[in-house]
Every structure is written in structure tokens, then in C-alpha cells.
């Protein structure tokens, strides 16, 4: 991952509903959820949820797949993991104090 991609992902996550959507989709795992299900879980109107889903997908944090008349969204574990790895390893040089404060004393990506 390069700096430009990381900035795009961090920018997408810097909004409350988008962060809540990521948390929700992580909990849904491989099943994912439709835009309507996500909107309902976020207590938001569908158009607002779709706006935020588009931003997360453009940033590479979620993926979408058409299933019949629905679009199913899933978190991109590859994208999210790449961002976390970039922050820990590239930005923070895998600093032991940061690993310790994350509760990951032996973590390396």
C-alpha cells in the first residue's frame, strides 16, 4: 500500500457513519449485507447509507456484489488489513511501544 491509498482509506473512515458501517460489516463477515439492511442498522435513509457505502468502496475498504436485485456489501479484509499494516509498519516503523499499547507485543504484518 502506498501513502496515497492509505490517505484515501483514512479519509473514508474519518466519518462516524462510515466507521459504524465498517464495524457492522465486520460483524456480518462473509455474508455481508444489502444497502437496505445497512441503512436499517444505521438508522439512516437508504440514500444516505448508499452515499457512505460508495465512499467506502472507492477507498477500497468494502466490496460489493450483485445478487439478483440486491447489492451485497462486505468489508474488504485485505484493504483494512493493508491499511493497518501500513500504519503499523510503514508509518510507525513497527515501533515496540506502539505494538505494546495496541495489545500486540509480537505483532508483525
pLDDT tens column, 42-93: 999 988 999 999 999 999 999 999 999 999 999 999 999 999 888 877 766 6
Residue at 106 is within a domain: no
The closest of 25, 39, 40, 27 to 73, measured between CA atoms, is: 25
Q: Does any domain span residue 96?
A: yes
C-alpha cell belonging to residue 27: 460483524
CATH of the domain at 79: 1.10.10.10
**Grid coordinates given for 8:** 484515501
Write out the residue range of the structural domain in which residue 7 sits.
3-101
pLDDT class of 101 with cuts at 50, 70, 90: low
For the chain, how are helix, strand and coil distributed in percent, rounded to 5?
A: 65, 15, 25
**Is a pLDDT exceeding 90 seen at residue 99?**
no
Is 67 within a domain? yes
Domain tally, the chain: 1
What value does the mean pLDDT take over residues 13-33? 96
Amino acid at each position: 500500500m502506498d501513502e496515497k491509498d492509505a490517505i484515501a482509506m483514512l479519509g473514508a473512515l474519518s466519518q462516524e457513519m462510515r466507521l459504524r458501517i465498517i464495524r457492522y460489516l465486520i460483524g456480518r463477515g462473509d455474508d455481508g449485507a444489502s444497502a437496505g439492511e445497512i441503512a436499517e442498522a444505521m438508522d439512516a435513509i437508504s440514500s444516505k447509507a448508499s452515499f457512505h457505502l460508495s465512499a467506502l468502496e472507492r477507498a477500497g475498504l468494502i466490496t460489493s456484489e450483485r445478487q439478483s436485485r440486491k447489492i451485497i456489501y462486505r468489508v474488504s479484509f485485505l484493504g483494512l488489513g493493508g491499511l493497518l499494516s501500513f500504519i503499523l509498519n510503514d508509518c510507525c516503523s513497527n515501533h515496540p511501544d506502539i505494538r505494546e499499547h495496541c495489545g500486540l507485543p509480537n505483532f508483525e504484518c
